[in-house]
A and B are shown apart, each in its own frame.
Chain A
Amino acid sequence: MITLDELLERDKKREQDGFKRKIRIGRIVKPGAGNREKIIVIPTTVEEKFVHDDTMLVEQSPGEGEPTGGTGEGEEGDIIGEQPVRPEDGDGQGEGDGEGPGEGQGGEHEMEANAYELGKVLSQDFELPNLKNKGKKRALSRYVYDLTDKNRGVGQILDKKATLKKIVETNMSLGRIPDVTRINSAGFVVSPRDLIFRVLSREKQYESQALVFFLRDYSGSMGGKVTQTVVSQHVMLYSWLMYQYERQVETRFILHDTEAREVTDFQKYYSYKVAGGTKVYTAFQMVNEIVEKEHLARDYNIYVFYGTDGDDWEKDGKQTLTEIEKILTYAARIGISVVKHAYTGTKETEVEKYIQASGVLDRHSHLIKMDVMGENVDDSRIIQGIKTLIS
């Protein structure tokens, strides 16, 4: 069986022969609870043919999905169920039409393992330049021992406060404390089970050398392909960093509209959607707050990647630029991707305008990069964008 590498090698040759490449690296994110989101990395390709486009008819009534069959009781118009919206943003390129059943979206696999694989493919086959290694500390994981676990009955150190609480509790339930304002401790009954001890336990501690903030605009204007493109780029970046730093990457995810919020995992990062306005600075401000509060600048290479459609209510970008300047004092790189809606044409967006005008790109050319692309770009352009952002 042919390997992925061979397939990609063959795909490269298409360009020599004057045809477009056809293989894309598909990423399928299967939503899962908490940090258990899964990513599956697969090559995909579409066989183009003349086929009917059914979406056109669906578009006729906005907000309506494609109808399907159903069975059960109820009157016409009855609502029979609902499902949280999970936009396909960030999803892999679906398979071609008519591939038969069983090919749903999503999949189970360890996100990390597969993202690692994708990163490997990206840095080998797409020839991304290596990130500069700031290398403060060698990344390693170690164990520390601490008296953190509690144990009833036996143990190393008696936790007096907890024990006393327990004794009072026991005596109350036995009815030995008739008046809580006048407690006579001489009359307490003490059960051996009331003694609470601290025991030594092994705590795993990681030191990581890279911390990556992924920021994106999720305001109302970010609909459709723009979000998909931003998220695609961020998945690739994430995967590649994972490979480069041998899984010692920590990630934080921040979304913003007129306010910023941190979300716990990638699934939320890619799927959340609101219809609010846009204040770009809030996201950068939150980065500064987190870094300051958690003293992150000392131990980490900090990378900040931001994706937007370029829209900002703050036309002059004053606050955004202030926050960015602040980040530049400690960050290893800020990468800003502006993905333009098709309808903006060649017009410069607000974010582009004020970033360019501020001259920050020139003053800190080694620390901050900006890349501007259209919403309909393909994978190779997205990868090109990553090269720009980390060059």
Chain B
Amino acid sequence: MELVNQHVKGIMEECKLRARDAGLRFDDETLEYIVTNRDLIELSPKTMIPTLYDYWVHDVRVLSGKGMYEAYPSNPYETVINTRPAISFYNDNNPDWLNVMIFYHVLAHIDFFQNNLYYKNTWDVDLAGQALADKRLIAQLRSEKGRWVDYVIEFARGMDNLVGFHRELNRSLTRDQGHVPDRIDFYFDRFLQKIKSVPQHVYLKEIDRYNQCRKDHTDFLGIVVEQYPEFEENFQKEKQKNIPGKLDVMEYILKYSPFLRKEENEWMKSVIHIIRSTSLYFQPQIRTKTMNEGWASFWHAHLFLNDERIRGHETDFAKVNATVTAMPKVGLNPYALGLRLFEHIQEMEDKGRYSLGYFQLKDAHLRTKYDQTKNTGLDYIFSVRENMDDFSFINTFVDQEFVDRHHLFVAGKRFNPQRNTWQYYIKSRKMDEYKQMIIDTLYHPPDIRVVEGKTRNGVLYLDHRFENKPLKQDFIENTMIGIEFLWGGPVHLETSVPATVSQPGAPYINFWDPGAAGRPADSRKPPIQWKRVRFVMKDRKLHKQEL
């Protein structure tokens, strides 16, 4: 691993100037490293952070990655990591023109990391440095505690998808923007209306008085406090309420586990803490994959096509660009989808179609001709990149126009027993179904929280808020063994499982009654019924109880 040479760095700096002119915003400092494919295989289990702590699962992944590489030799163009300064990795055999294109792509990624609000909590940390400190701490602990460090890492990673990412984000965003209501807002919006339920004329009178006070620069709240002595207390209570108090599962265990509180187990807390903050750090990346790749692909094309350094390499570019951003006939490519969606949004906004006028227009012909020539599309997509994640991006902007324009469809796959093949077919061209299909592929960990009311007598009580998707049953046991270990007592998990036991339909009949072998299975099963159950983990044994 070594830094790129001065010539290549020069290309990068040139790209930065032009990217900035186009409106991208990012820190001045970046680091570019040349790496081999072998380096990349070793980095990828560590989510590309060279300084991430050592862990045997990473080693297993490296070994299997090497096997995979034998199978599918691949040559990644670039990888960027969200550190300060931003670090990116490249192969050393790229020609200059390709580097120009790749650098634009990378700069757009950096712009995304540094401006999208979901990344806010990563802005003030240099992960590479933080990870190095963590790595050293873990290495030191390992020299003292041996493989028990790895068990703690394992068990902590077992719940590192249950971190309160949105809550942490909410906390820091509202702190900045003053979303915690101030006294005036609270007085008018909640206190008068909800708590005191004053009649309307009193409310209006108070508004008048407030406006008068503003004009005269006199104190408004003084009289309020005189009139309602309980106001301040109510306000403080409200403020508390708005700061989400619920701890996520990891935090709860860190804070209340009787096992971790013992002096000889104190060290485990630092390990769990490292796992939790590392997981939080990567949450925005998992949740903005489509946008981030789309954004980078949008800009590498846009910037490179307007760069004179492309001259003579137009067809080369077309070829590389197509391999990255072509829409697959069947399958999903986040680069391609994100890119097209950004382009679509820009055009829709340019024509002023995100408007009531367009929305109310029912005539298909007039809709295709609708154009207000607003030309605000570029600003609009900049604000999309700042404020959205994959879910809101797709949920908001995938519309029928988008689906039609790119001839998108939900591709179904079904078994054809006569031909012994999988048949792919066009299942739907409806926007809603397409959107739902994409959304189903997005990262969405289960919503599992500690129920404090039921957590007593040494039992940790977890509740899974059911979203019509059951938990993967095979994983429950080992995950709960880990939580039991760190909690130091029994763990209960309330969740939903199918009430109708899914029978092994056709094979069952075949087995006992071979004559029925060819009987077609009933293709219409009734919808699954769900029931609540409680999994109980005690002394490393799992039991299931009906509720």
Contacts and interface: CB of A to CB of B under 8 A. Distances in A.
Contacts of A71: 327-329, 406-409
Contact of B521 (A44, A62, A99): A62
Contacts of A48: 158, 474-479, 482
A62 to B, nearest CB: 5
Interface string A197-231: 00000000000000000000000110110000000
Interface stretch (B120-128, B173-181, B501-509): B501-509
A57 interface: yes
A42 B507 contact: no
Contact of A63 (B161, B415, B528): B415
A109 B478 contact: no
Chief secondary structure at chain B's binding surface: mixed
B471 A51 contact: yes
Contacts of B438: 69
B190 interface: no
A17 B413 contact: no
A19 B481 contact: yes
Contact of B64 (A43, A49, A106): A43
A54 B446 CA distance: 12
B215 to A, nearest CB: 57
A74 B426 contact: yes
A64 interface: yes
Given A62-B521, A69-B434, A69-B437, A53 B470 contact: yes
B511 A51 contact: no
B147 interface: yes
Contacts of B472: 50-53
A60 B475 contact: no
Contact of A49 (B63, B160, B411, B481): B160
A65 B413 contact: yes
A2 B59 contact: yes
Interface string B140-180: 00000001000100100111111000000000000000000
Interface string A55-89: 01101111111111111111111111111110000
A20 B41 CA distance: 28
Contacts of A82: 416, 419, 421-424
Contacts of A106: 71
Interface string A21-59: 001001010100000001011111111111111101101
Nearest to A222: B507
Contact of A102 (B74, B328, B493): B74
A43 B63 contact: yes
Contact of A76 (B420, B429, B471, B482): B429
A65 B422 contact: yes
Contacts of B440: 54
Contacts of B478: 20, 48
Size class of the A contact interface (CB-based, 8 Å): 35 or more
B426 A75 contact: yes
B517 A275 contact: yes
Given A53-B473, A341-B507, A70 B329 contact: yes
Contact of B424 (A28, A60, A83, A223): A83
Nearest to A278: B514
Interface in A93-137: 95, 98-100, 102-104, 106-109
B198 interface: no
A111 B440 CA distance: 37
B56 A68 contact: no
Given A60-B525, A63-B414, A71-B407, A53 B469 contact: yes
B464 interface: yes
B428 interface: yes
B421 A83 contact: yes
B424 A79 contact: yes
Contacts of B415: 63-65, 85
A311 B428 contact: no
Nearest to B448: A50
A25 to B, nearest CB: 11
A47 B57 contact: yes
Interface string B451-476: 00000000000001001111111111
Contacts of B329: 70-72, 80-81
Given A50-B476, A66-B413, A61 B523 contact: yes
B105 to A, nearest CB: 16
A60 B527 contact: yes
A18 interface: yes
Given A67-B412, A70-B330, A220-B510, A7 B59 contact: yes
Nearest to A92: B64
B375 to A, nearest CB: 28
A23 B474 CA distance: 16
A364 B477 CA distance: 43
B157 A69 contact: no
A341 B62 CA distance: 35
A344 B440 CA distance: 36
B322 interface: no
Contacts of B521: 62-63
A13 interface: yes
A85 B420 CA distance: 6
B332 interface: yes
B485 to A, nearest CB: 9
Given A2-B59, A79-B423, A220-B517, A107 B67 contact: yes
Contacts of B508: 343
B417 interface: yes
B143 to A, nearest CB: 16
A276 interface: yes
A155 interface: no
Interface in A225-242: none
A173 to B, nearest CB: 45
B272 interface: no
A343 B331 CA distance: 36
Contacts of A60: 525, 527-528
A74 to B, nearest CB: 5
Contact of A68 (B44, B413, B419, B517): B413
Contacts of B481: 19
Nearest to B66: A42
Contacts of A221: 507, 510-511
A326 interface: no
Given A20-B478, A107-B72, A69 B421 contact: no
A99 B48 CA distance: 13
B471 A84 contact: no
B514 A51 contact: no
Nearest to A79: B425
A1 interface: yes
Interface string B205-218: 00000000000000
Interface in B432-447: 434, 437-438, 440, 443-446
Given A17-B151, A68-B437, A79-B425, A49 B475 contact: yes
Nearest to B443: A98
Contacts of A62: 505, 521, 523, 525
B291 interface: no
A60 B502 CA distance: 10
Interface string B50-65: 0000001101111110
Contacts of A277: 514, 517
Interface in B318-369: 327-332, 337
Given A50-B159, A81-B330, 10 more contacts: A28-B71, A43-B63, A53-B473, A54-B440, A61-B523, A65-B415, A69-B437, A70-B426, A71-B407, A107-B68
Interface of A: 1-2, 4, 7, 10, 13, 17-20, 23, 26, 28, 30, 38, 40-54, 56-57, 59-85, 95, 98-100, 102-104, 106-109, 220-221, 223-224, 273, 275-278, 309, 311, 313, 341-344
The 6 closest A-B pairs by CB, nearest first: A107-B71, A65-B413, A70-B411, A42-B64, A42-B67, A48-B475
15 contacts: A2-B56, A23-B60, A49-B479, A52-B444, A54-B440, A63-B521, A66-B413, A70-B424, A71-B408, A71-B409, A74-B409, A80-B329, A108-B70, A108-B71, A343-B511
